[in-house]
Chains A and B, each alone.
Chain A
């Protein structure tokens, strides 16, 4: 599935690396502990979180994640977005809660 296909159902606003919307993703991991994502995140997954710190870009990059969905309309600061652009990490913001975003995505992927 491509990120492009979930922009509307998850009300995503793409904040960095818009060109990556054509990229495929395999599933998603939900966590607000970056140490946990380092341990459990898988290559090609999207990451749903409320964290906006600069370190999210490095974690996504190291783990080969397909992108980061930041929930509750929390907006990453300019430095985070700048680094994401540089590292080729797509960041999207949704007004949905973690539960709602993950639930909708689960439904789309698993029918």
Chain B
């Protein structure tokens, strides 16, 4: 802390806003955060959760109809074999990126501002990965046979086909989901102990007690906890890069113009972080206002997240530009036509909307006043979220509509069931998030306590040594 304070005090540099509002003690932090769970839920929560739950019901309806009739209720066709399902899958996986990035990488990089948002971001990751994980199964022609993608001993003596990126995907996504879950849960353990101790009623006491794995807050516990947390952070870090790299292989291993590109791994990872941060902001800003968490999620956080978005946004924009350059530089007719088709073809509006939302909108964030305005940030985040969905649409669908042999060109249009399923997963996501903010501490109390003045033992407070 001292080092940082020194930096902030350097002449010519404006002092950065603090990561926690002044005047907080460990007691006030714990009290404020735990009260959200222990108090009665506000009325808006019921309304919001109710709406989300209705959307979940719609999602289930769509899925039931899908299983009953077949994947043909969607708009997929030949040549566009992958439609909304894969767009949504990649989009959700991308959103699921920010959580682990904020938690693990920023932890390792000792960015103390991550503390207020990491728990929430991790929960968001899990919800997003849950949504993402459904799509590869739903989009199968015979979803009941999805387990054939897993290597298990069977009477057919068959293993999956290891050359296929879809198999890599299965492992990348499932590993990521597992590690993210573990990381999130291990981080929760001290807080669950706190909740157990603070709960007034029997049921929460039992539940939190059960989930807190006998946490007593002893020195030994703290030691084990911190070792485990740090190790998991180390384990999760490469996964942040690997998951979306592997997801991008789904495309770059294919030979379709617009897919077959070496730029995809970094471009996808940057896009995912970009999108993930946008989604964190999209969710955190309203919740901060609703629960009055301005003390813990301060302007410092917004600034930092906006800067990450700007940086990754620029990488993504660079990706768009370099794709155009390479289409020309490759000398390949197919690549050139693909790019021409993206920009001037029947789906040109998607591409231009993408450039407007992902390329131009983040440029607002150069301006500090814009970065400080929650409303602007929120709107920008929403635009970026939509823009990233469009990006996946451009990559997955526009590329497929017009590939190598002109006789087989064809357009694609999502049906009502495509939209229902997509919007349905938004409902699933929101429902899970609402349940999370209602029943689990959305900000890490144990870590926040270390940020209060005078504390200096745990977690990121190591920075202060």
Whether chain B is bound by chain A comes out as no
Residues of A within 8 A of B (CB): none
